[in-house]
Structure 1
Amino acid sequence: MSRREPDLAARVAALETAVEAGTGRLPEADLERARGVVAHAQQRLALSPDHTVVALAGSTGSGKSSLLNAMAGERIAEPGITRPTTGFPSAAVWGPDGSANLLDWLGVDARRHLDGVGAVPTGLVLLDLPDHDSVVVEHRLRAERLLERVDLLVWVADPQKYADAALHERYLRPLATHADVMVLALNQVDRLSATERDRCVADLRRLAAEDGLGAVPVLAVSATTGEGVDELRGLLSEAARKRRAATARLTADVRAEAARLVAACGDAVPPVVHRAAREDLVTALEEAAGVRTVVDAVRGSARARARAATGWPVTRWLGRFRPDPLRRLHLDRDVRRPDLARTSLPAAGAASRARAANAVRDFTDAATAGAPDAWVLAARARTSADGLADALDQAVAGTRLDAERRPVWWRAVGAVQWLLLAALVGGLLWLAGLAVLAYLRLPEPPTPQWWDFPAPTVLAVGGAVGGILLAAFSRIAAALGARRRAARARTRLRAAVGQVADGRVVGPVSEEIGALERCRSGARTAAT
């Protein structure tokens, strides 16, 4: 089953979507033309759908005004003799009024309403345009403006200038996609013999085919004798009766501009960026952010704090003279305002910065491979390394490192250490008391025996040895705990750096690729 083509409204909406997606990426000249077509289509659709606007366009002396009078059956336009012959447009409107807003939009002030001539239906609006080759710039601009707005084009040529390069290169060839809303009328054939007329008509058909207009209707007419006028009137009457010319013209305009955008978007599909590419990017940014330094500081700080909490009380005070690695980096406390937090990490070296910049560029290039240059440049502009170092530092500073977290076993071991110290001190004091009594030759009180050893000796030796052994085992446990805490910190820091990578590189690149797909999809829908 064949796919149903979108209607005009859907095409206009799709082209508008493509223009929005391409803004800031595609050449502004292309976008401006497309915006103009969208605005023109929306405006024309809002005006009278019951009228079909036909323009008689041509060069000076081609007989447009005479042909309009012949079609209308009365004198509406004044044929000129000297250049320029037609400077302002005039209109013949068949049927009752209702075309005022449409003619105001077209900028046509001279208008004549006709009750009808022959089989001409109501709703036909026939315009006599200014000469497209006028020596007066304002006249040419008026003609070109109306050429963009009318529904159906009748190009009036005369035997002397029907092959003029300006007509074909400037007007007919660029409108090759508009053959369905175009008619070529070779006027003034009354000046030719039958053989010459047939030869000129055949030659005009050949030139039209070379211009890409295919089987566009080519009529031989004479405003003087009336030859071919009825045939032309009938063709225009049929278009007015069907009321499809406006839609066909707007569709051709939309498709032509959409085709330009499709070409600008290219056909290559950007590759899918695998997760490994993002991981490589995050790894490079980790190095630039000093994550390894922070992880080592977390490990060192955890060991130092564990020793301070679980070490032998006699020697643990010596650790106070060694600075805490996290405190030196201003990372010893969890922050409440990550957006204001900063670290004291040393700036990344030139090599690390270069690797980070290369990683950003490599990721961007890989993600946009095959995309048009406009999108590649837009993606690179959005993934600039400017401000990246500050964003990474803020991410590191805002990461929860659990620096102030104290495991339960630290407190338990610390309590046992103080009990052992108390035993040591108690044993030493007991022994000291016994030594004083012995020195003074005073009677000694009975000394309890524990495991065949004097109790004060057991207390002193046991307290000292127990404290030292407990501190040694605690140091081993602290090292294992510090390793686990460092691993958790690295996971959280990598996640924080990953958020920076997503926000400043992966996300913007994905948005650019998404804009490319929206532009390409919308343009293709409009151009279908």
Structure 2
Amino acid sequence: MTDVMGRVAALSAALDCGAPWLPPEAVQKTRDRMEHVGHRLDLGTDRTVVALVGATGGGKSSLFNAIARMDIAAVGARRPFTTSPMACVWGELGSEKLLDWLQVPADRRMTRESVLDADDQAVLHGLVLLDLPDHDSTEAVHRVEVDRLVRMVDLMIWVVDPQKYADNVLHAGYLQKLTSHDGVMLVVLNQVDKLSPEETETCVTDLRRLLDGDGLARVGIVPVSATRGDGVDELRALLADVVQDRFAVIERIESDLDIAAEEIAAGLAASEPGAGQPVSQDKLVNDLAAASGTSALLDALAAEYRRRGRQKLAWAPAAWVARIAARRKSTGPAEARLQAETASLKALASPSQRPAVRLAVEAMLADNAGPLPERWAKEARTLVARAGDPAVSPEDVLLPSGVQGSSGGAAGAALAGRGRHTPAYGLPKITPTTGVPSDPDGLARVLDSRLAAVDLRFSTPLWWHLTQFVQQLLALGSVIGVLWLAVLVLGRLAGQEPSGALGSLPLAVSLVVGGLVAGLLLRLLSRWWLTAGARNRRAELDGRLREAVAEVAAERVVAPIRSVLARHRETRQVLLGERSPTSGAAEPTPGADETEQSDPEPVAALSR
């Protein structure tokens, strides 16, 4: 019972978590089934409802009377033309609510256990036997009543006769649709008194073939004769075992829950891309960066760094010559401003290529939403589209977590005080997102705005100043050397040669040549440093720009997709029992040795 209640809790939580994105018809059918299961559990499992279902002339009423050992149901021509079932109850106490739920009229309820034969009927205590209208009746109301009760009873006994056991109305209309309930079904071949033993065996063999073809290999066959009594005692013994073991109620409920779980699972993918974490995130960032023109911008910034560096670190004599030439070449105010703006390091990113941005997002959605069912994929696309609107806060479009924590311990505790069939666990009501913004280029504008805010300002490195200072010193030394040489030359021409160190010609030449050569060597070395600095500068700015792009991608694309994947994953894990509906924490799937438990033996096995 605890397992059943846990499955009900899991199904309810799965619906609460993923209902807006599951097929509406499947959600409604599942809620209806869970409502039925909840009511059946509320009525208890100490009574087993068994229905005799069959076609006109199959002998249901005769078999009904034979099992009850009383003439209760009208037979043959005396059978009343009614839309209501007949019920025979073994042990009346506590059966009223169950019969009310089954909608059996009060005047069509019979109690079987009497004082005279209580011992004989005690083995069937807890049995509620129903004689249903004919499922092939020309009256639609009869078929509706049969369909209603077939969905409600715990055990179905299909009564067929040698003439109609192969009827397509029975097999295609009912049996083939109930393969999930083969553990709580039995086929009774009635009226075998009209057949020889060989003919009976032939009919049973052919009926077995038909049932196997219907997918009902587990369903047993019991040949009986309601009028002569053949096989009736065996059928009563079988019903006694079912009633005493009380497994038919749970088996039927578990079958209904299996169907509900399959219908919900049909609206889910077998797994999520990246185990719930969006894939292709690096590719998205690369594509968005490429669409934003960051590569060209970085090239321009690196080139500007090198240009400024060449000016700052130029060989001093060459710089002096260039400065003198620039002064001699006069420029107008407009040209001067243009040159200043051209030389400026205030670079801004060019507007992102709108089609490229859309293609990058579509590729991301294809990798992540593509494997999901249509409604989930549509939700992911809608959330991403909304998140791309600059006027929308990214947090406002994220789906909240579907499974909430709880202080309760067992799954059944979640049902306390709510009713087992109440499909609500206090989770936020979410509806599929609507109202996609009409601006498809909102994300590109967000990207442009974020990139424009990146600090790309340039500060002159300290080593530039030091190198320039050394260049000036070396150039000054060369100038002093030139002046020194000039003094020596003029002195010799005048017949006055300085004495001592001041008159050393090699020393003066060394000063001139040394200053010039050292300046040139420092220039060559600084060019190498400048290349490395430009590379580092490019890498630094690339990091800043990529960080801005990654933030936009994470907030406006990845986060909405992740919220959908997380909601889908939670729904799937709760449905499969991998996550507790009360704790919200993922739980390991039990091993094979833990899951192999002895299931209740189906009715089919008892009849073979």
Q: TM-score, normalised by structure 1?
A: 0.66
- Match among 25, 33, 49 for residue 53 of structure 1: 49
CA offset at residue 257 of structure 1?
4.3
Q: Does 1:112 align with 2:114?
A: no
Cα distance in structure 1, aligned partners of 2:64 and 2:219: 21
Q: 1:61 to 1:525 in 2, by over 3 A?
A: farther
CA offset at residue 481 of structure 1?
11
Q: Does 1:499 align with 2:551?
A: yes
SS at match of 2:57: coil
CA offset at residue 45 of structure 1?
1.9
Structure with larger RCO (C-alpha < 8 A, sep 6+): 2
What is the letter of the counterpart of residue 381 of structure 1?
R
Cα distance in structure 1, aligned partners of 2:351 and 2:231: 89
The equivalent of 1:381 in structure 2 is: 381
Q: 1:107 to 1:293 in 2, by over 3 A?
A: farther
CA offset at residue 263 of structure 1?
6.3
The equivalent of 2:5 in structure 1 is: 9
Write the deviation string for residues 188-247 of structure 1: whole angstroms up to 9, x where unpaired: 333334443333233323322332222533222233333322222221121111111111
What is the letter of the counterpart of residue 253 of structure 1?
D
The equivalent of 1:41 in structure 2 is: 37
The question of whether the paired residues in 1 share the 8 Å contact of 2:384 and 2:561 is answered with no
Cα distance in structure 1, aligned partners of 2:245 and 2:57: 32
The question of whether the paired residues in 1 share the 8 Å contact of 2:21 and 2:376 is answered with no
Q: Percent same amino acid at aligned positions? A: 38
Aligned pairs (5 A) from 1:8-87: 8-16=4-12, 19=15, 23=19, 25-79=21-75, 81=77, 85-87=81-83
Cα distance in structure 2, aligned partners of 1:270 and 1:84: 61
- Match among 123, 129, 148 for residue 126 of structure 1: 129
The equivalent of 1:365 in structure 2 is: 366
Q: Does 1:227 align with 2:225?
A: no
Q: 1:392 to 1:209 in 2, by over 3 A?
A: same
- Match among 196, 200, 219 for residue 203 of structure 2: 200
- Which deviates more from structure 2 when the two are superposed, residues 225-234 or residues 508-517? 508-517
What is the RMSD of the two structures over their aligned residues, measured on CA atoms? 5.1
CA offset at residue 248 of structure 1?
0.9
The equivalent of 2:167 in structure 1 is: 164
Write the deviation string for residues 23-56 of structure 1: whole angstroms up to 9, x where unpaired: 4555444444334333332332222221111111
The question of whether the paired residues in 1 share the 8 Å contact of 2:224 and 2:230 is answered with yes
The equivalent of 2:445 in structure 1 is: 393
Cα distance in structure 1, aligned partners of 2:217 and 2:278: 51
Aligned pairs (5 A) from 1:420-459: none
SS at match of 2:174: helix
The question of whether the paired residues in 2 share the 8 Å contact of 1:48 and 1:98 is answered with no
The question of whether the paired residues in 2 share the 8 Å contact of 1:91 and 1:126 is answered with yes
Aligned pairs (5 A) from 1:505-524: 505-515=557-567, 517-518=569-570, 520-521=572-573, 524=576
Cα distance in structure 1, aligned partners of 2:279 and 2:156: 58
SS at match of 1:155: strand
What is the letter of the counterpart of residue 112 of structure 1?
M
- Which deviates more from structure 2 when the two are superposed, residues 17-26 or residues 58-67? 17-26
SS at match of 2:128: strand
The question of whether the paired residues in 2 share the 8 Å contact of 1:93 and 1:113 is answered with yes
Cα distance in structure 1, aligned partners of 2:273 and 2:2: 27
CA offset at residue 152 of structure 1?
0.7
Cα distance in structure 1, aligned partners of 2:127 and 2:79: 29
CA offset at residue 280 of structure 1?
2.1
Cα distance in structure 1, aligned partners of 2:279 and 2:234: 70
Cα distance in structure 1, aligned partners of 2:56 and 2:197: 25
SS at match of 1:81: helix
Cα distance in structure 2, aligned partners of 1:251 and 1:372: 28
Cα distance in structure 1, aligned partners of 2:41 and 2:204: 36
What is the letter of the counterpart of residue 34 of structure 1?
T
The question of whether the paired residues in 1 share the 8 Å contact of 2:347 and 2:456 is answered with no
The equivalent of 2:514 in structure 1 is: none
What is the letter of the counterpart of residue 362 of structure 2?
R
Cα distance in structure 2, aligned partners of 1:158 and 1:522: 45
The question of whether the paired residues in 2 share the 8 Å contact of 1:94 and 1:120 is answered with no
What is the letter of the counterpart of residue 365 of structure 2?
T
CA offset at residue 265 of structure 1?
4.9
Write the deviation string for residues 457-510 of structure 1: whole angstroms up to 9, x where unpaired: xxxxxxxxxxxxxxxxxxx9xxx9999898766544433432332344333444
- Which deviates more from structure 2 when the two are superposed, residues 117-126 or residues 143-152? 117-126
Cα distance in structure 2, aligned partners of 1:299 and 1:217: 83
The equivalent of 2:287 in structure 1 is: 284
The question of whether the paired residues in 2 share the 8 Å contact of 1:22 and 1:31 is answered with no
The equivalent of 1:468 in structure 2 is: none
SS at match of 1:54: strand
Q: Does 1:175 align with 2:178?
A: yes
- Match among 109, 116, 140 for residue 143 of structure 2: 140
Q: Structure 1: where are the runs of 5+ without partners? A: 304-314, 332-344, 410-475
Write the deviation string for residues 45-103 of structure 1: whole angstroms up to 9, x where unpaired: 22222111111111223222332233223344334639994411222221132123322
Q: 1:233 to 1:503 in 2, by over 3 A?
A: farther
SS at match of 2:282: helix
The equivalent of 2:515 in structure 1 is: none
The question of whether the paired residues in 1 share the 8 Å contact of 2:278 and 2:368 is answered with no
Q: Does 1:151 align with 2:203?
A: no
SS at match of 2:50: strand
Write the deviation string for residues 250-296 of structure 1: whole angstroms up to 9, x where unpaired: 22232344345556656677467999932221132234456679889
Cα distance in structure 2, aligned partners of 1:402 and 1:268: 42
Cα distance in structure 2, aligned partners of 1:179 and 1:287: 60
The question of whether the paired residues in 2 share the 8 Å contact of 1:158 and 1:187 is answered with yes
The question of whether the paired residues in 2 share the 8 Å contact of 1:65 and 1:78 is answered with yes
SS at match of 1:98: coil
Cα distance in structure 1, aligned partners of 2:184 and 2:277: 49
Q: Structure 2: where are the runs of 5+ without partners? A: 307-326, 328-332, 389-439, 463-526, 579-594, 597-608
Q: 1:402 to 1:209 in 2, by over 3 A?
A: closer
Aligned length, in residue pairs = 444
Q: 1:381 to 1:266 in 2, by over 3 A?
A: closer
The question of whether the paired residues in 2 share the 8 Å contact of 1:21 and 1:515 is answered with yes
What is the letter of the counterpart of residue 104 of structure 1?
D
The question of whether the paired residues in 2 share the 8 Å contact of 1:70 and 1:229 is answered with yes
Cα distance in structure 2, aligned partners of 1:159 and 1:143: 22
Q: 1:201 to 1:372 in 2, by over 3 A?
A: same
Q: TM-score, normalised by structure 2?
A: 0.58
CA offset at residue 125 of structure 1?
1.0
Cα distance in structure 2, aligned partners of 1:180 and 1:170: 19
The equivalent of 1:435 in structure 2 is: none
Q: 1:276 to 1:269 in 2, by over 3 A?
A: closer
What is the letter of the counterpart of residue 378 of structure 2?
A
